[in-house]
Amino acid sequence: MLNVHLVAHTHNDVGWLQTVDQYFCDDPKQMISPCVVNILNSVVQALLVEPTRRFIYVEMAFFSRWWHQQTKTMQEAVKELVQQGRLEFANGGWVMNDEATTHYGAIVDQMTLGLCFLKDTFGKDGHPHVAWHIDPFGHSREQASLFAQMGFDGIFLGRVDYQDKYMREQAREMEQVWRGSASLQPPAADLFISVLPNNYDPPSGLCWDIRCHNPPVVEDLGSPNYNADRVVAHFLNVATDQARHYRTNNIIMTMGSDFHYEQAQNWFENLDKLIRLVNAQQQANGSQIHVLYSTPACYLRELNKANLSWSVKQDDFFPYAYVPHKFWTGFFSSRPALKRYERLSYNFLQVCNQLEAVTGPVANAGPYGVGGSTPLREAMAVLQHHDAVSGTSRQHVADDYARRLAAGWGSCEVLLSNALARLTGSKESFSFCRELNVSVCPLSQTAARFQVIIYNPLARQVDWMLRLPVSKGNFLVLDPSGQTVPSEVVDQPVLNSKEYPPELLFTASAPALGFSIYSVTQAPEQNPQTGFSWSNPQKSQSSVLVIENEHTRAVFDTHTGLLKEIENRDKKLVLPIRQAFFWYKASKNSGVYIFAPEKLNPLPVSLSAETHLVKTALVQEVHQKFSPWCSQVVRLYPGQRHLELEWTVGPIPPGIGFGKEVISRFDTMLETHGRFYTDSNGREILERRRDYRPTWNLNQTEPVAGNYYPVNSRIYITDGNIQLTVLTDRSQGGSSLSDGSLELMVHRRLWSVDGYGVGEQLLEPGKNLKGLWVRGRHLVLLDTTQAAAVGHRLLAEKEVLAPQVVLAPGGSAPWSHRGNRRRTFSALHRELPPAVRLLTLARWGRRTLLLRLEHQFAVGEDADGNLSSPVTLYLRNLFSTFTITRLKETTLAANQPRDRASRLQWTPNTDPALHTPTSSLDSTAMAITLQPMEIRTFLASVRWKHLQSGQDVHLRAGAPSTVGWVNHCLSILLLLLQTRAIKMPPTSPSGNHPSSSALPSCPRQQSTLVGQGWLAALPLTPRDGNMQLTVLTYRSQGSSSLSNRSLELMVHRRLPRDDARGVGEQLQEADPTDRGRARAAAAGHRLLEEKEVLAPQVVPAPGNGALYHPAIAWRTQLRGSSLRR
């Protein structure tokens, strides 16, 4: 018997042709089909009608939003559907992420956000068991590894190369085991894959959505539209044909597509009929086909029962071609500015997460307002969607993605300001210069003095060359200890129409997971030392132009202005090289998805470059101008082991009827035998071979586009002895189209469309509507093949988690009168080893943090050292602001305890019996061991320590906000003095009291938010018993005076535990409706008490209100003071 599993589903893009909000369309005035709200409403109603129906949903960005808009009754109904397995979640991430242009850290973050929403909402019933990646345009091996570590049983793929799919169908290898890592011990990164037969669409002729044109199933024999027999026969033929390509007696059919099921009843009624009619054939005609409503998880369980052995795949699914000549490799580089913004936002989100975790709740609400990491976390999750960071949406949608990131940055900037004020002990006017990449920072350009705070998100100390735009003149830079730091002001040569201000350069050092504060002061104008010199090498008599430091040397040809040689001085390696910019003429097939150059050989932007030289003690640069729209700075800093190439491209001039796709190309004499290497989502490395696929015989139809691969962080070539590595600052497409050559696509502008749905040219108008100009960096490393991994691994980490620079004017008020200002800080007591990366440190809940640690080296990468060896870490006293009291290890997405997670076991046909490796955790010493390429995830119960700067407070995680009602309690405090009004200063940190003759005017009493309440401190100076402070309340409250000059009242309590005195219930009181007040008086408190106890009663009435006063009418008159409300 052949079992046909029908999977009812809808694919909801989180932005593509319309924005996220437009697709969700919860505004009745702006509803434009398709509407996700209508889909979910319709599906739930259809499921409630018929208990045999089943449905799967994927995108939590939409579902969570819809869920929070539902009534309690509807939520309970949906929970019952989930509990019964009739509504099942597949994948469960915030989005269905792209796999080519995403960084693995961002993938993990967005999956964690979605899966933990499901866990918190539905418990174990909402846990997805399968990954559902039916629409991404190619599939990465690292994605398989991550999904396996998240606990998925398998993954379903929609898009695979047309040649690959054909060979799989012939060999009956549509399903197999995918080995996601060459370092992790199998089956830790093994994932079962199932390639769907129709991408993710229904079989032809069997689509009953309002977007389809197939007629409904008609059973009435008397109807002229009767077609039941024909539909059943067609279905049986489709099922029989599909079964020929699969190995078991179970096959899967997807019944749905893009934004289907807005009228779900229409779909389900026809599926109900189909199931009933097909199954009736078993008795009527002896049919051996059984059809049922199913889910991907149910289908995989049936496959697993077959107990077969499966072939093993060890490469990936790139590049992807749908038909001949149509390779989806253009999107690797589409919208380069958005790709860079996404990568910067990942960096900033990690900084935001860390400071939120390190500082505690005071980071979320403080003197700068209310901020948090959630808006940026959700925006970043949306950006991982396969039409977002990929650059394959329409222009107004791409603009909306950028808007979401900008809004998220704003909330994190508030959080950083609160955290930095708390940690530094100073309430500065912090400035975040978001446009430093184009030399714009208003504070540094206008202020005569300012402070630079450099925060380091790495778990090791970092030294970083800072470049800040400034005005003309000299500047004095002091480090945190007050020592002078070498600095220079460097003018920028004008190589195009854009002029940039001078830049202040100095090297800053920041401790692990911490910050350092540097002071910058403008010096007198006389005797300026900008440290700038320049020359035009084209007029030089010398044949070479050189920039160099103690480790690296770069030589340029003075006749062409091009780079001609790189030398690694430490290893005595010299590599002749030529680097320049070229462009491919785009054919009519090129578009946001497709890369289809008209000719095989690109054209040079220019055969030579105008050059200018800058040489100072802190930097050596060669500025190259290739054309008015293409320039580059080749740069070396002291101590730097890599060459930095900062390129600026755009606006790309329009061609007549064609587009241009711009590349940076490196040509060497290395004998590479058609091989080159690229990273997989910024993590493990894969070998690529020109015109070759490891699992099928390739018929190459596009020698250029068909050899392009996604480069998320690095690409390299090697001859076995020398390795040339180029690191990128964003995702780009890259290749090696001839031996010894590397190229990376940096920008593209197209006047054609590729016909795959976007229907819009890739023009990117930019701010002035003349086209987008983009700036980026390539970092070039030359090393021996044996030692190269150490360099590119550590440099890639430093590039992805670059220091965050925050500026402040300096000289602002302290955080608290009790604290000392801090100019350097580290959240770690000791640095982590170089092989270990702190992948995640984030707030998770009440007294709980999310902690991820990873081994960032692969097996055998560091042959000369021990960086590829297992590493043991001791976590108990690792952090300085909190103590870990308990560790609970989870799966990668933190939604399951690791010791309870179980996956279906599949038998590869290449290995002996495999056993799931175990990772030990010494709970006493809190010692963990990381194997090469292993990521371990923990929920850490913590106890925050008192921070020494500012006022010591007890930090309580996850407490609800009580600002509103506490504000009412404190807003009407009055101080009435018996003699004359004397305004008191706060107590000095040393405890000394100022003399009475030097008393300043009394400032408004300051209040500080602490955990769940406000602490009001009112220090008093003794006055020989002549002064009295009285606080009146209008309810009974506990009170005390626990120290001199202190008086406290307990205004509210919320307790998570019962005190075992018989009540048997927690004291929670979720929604208090009254407001507390407190009043202070040193005279007349008896009369005030009477007035408070017998307060007027207001009786509302139409037109006018009646006021009844139960007390004796009187007016307050106090000598020397007055009572004000």
CA atoms within 13 A on the CB side of 309: 7
CA atoms within 13 A on the CB side of 594: 28
Label residue 786 exposed, middle or buried (CB < 10 Å: 0-12, 13-18, 19+). Answer: middle
Backbone angles phi, psi at 1098, to 5 degrees: -100, 130
Cα separation, 490 vs 487, whole angstroms? 10
Cα separation, 370 vs 359, whole angstroms? 14
Rg (CA), the chain: 33
Cα separation, 887 vs 881, whole angstroms? 17
Concatenated DSSP letters of 694-747: TTB----S-TTGGG-EEESSEEEEE-SSEEEEEEESS-EEEE--STTEEEEEEE
Neighbouring CB atoms inside 10 A of 671's CB total 12
Question: Which position among 109, 125, 135, 783 bears the catalytic label?
Answer: 135
Closest CA to 133 of 103, 168, 172, 100: 100
Taking each helix axis as running N to C, give the angle between helix 395-424 and helix 336-359, from 0 to 180 degrees, rounded to the nearest 10: 30
Neighbouring CB atoms inside 10 A of 983's CB total 11
List residues bridging with 639 in a β-sheet. none
How much helix, strand and coil, in percent to the nearest 5, is found in the chain?
Answer: 20, 30, 50
Enter the tokens of residue 711.
Answer: 């480069």
Phi-psi region of 224 (alpha: psi -120 to 50; beta: other; left: phi over 0): alpha
Can the peptide bond before residue 651 be classed as cis, meaning omega within 30 degrees of 0? yes
Query: Please, where are the H alpha helices in 54-210?
Result: 60-68, 72-83, 104-122, 141-149, 162-171
Cα separation, 144 vs 147, whole angstroms? 5
Cα separation, 453 vs 413, whole angstroms? 14
Cα separation, 1038 vs 1050, whole angstroms? 5
For residue 999, the Cα-to-chain-centroid distance in whole angstroms is 52
Looking up tokens 């890369």 gives: 595
Closest CA to 892 of 172, 112, 30: 112
Q: Which residues contact 347 (CB under 8 A, 6 or more apart)?
A: 457, 800, 801, 802, 804
Total number of residues shown for the chain: 1125
Cα separation, 155 vs 132, whole angstroms? 6
Neighbouring CB atoms inside 10 A of 1058's CB total 12
Taking each helix axis as running N to C, give the angle between helix 104-122 and helix 60-68, from 0 to 180 degrees, rounded to the nearest 10: 30
Label residue 71 exposed, middle or buried (CB < 10 Å: 0-12, 13-18, 19+). Answer: exposed
**Using an 8 Å Cβ cutoff, are 821 and 424 in contact?**
yes
Cα separation, 1061 vs 1058, whole angstroms? 8
Enter the tokens of residue 98.
Answer: 């792209």
Closest CA to 402 of 935, 663, 923, 20: 20
Is 1074 one of the catalytic residues?
no
Enter the tokens of residue 266.
Answer: 């229409």
Looking up tokens 């006022």 gives: 951
Which residues does the annotation mark as catalytic?
A: 135
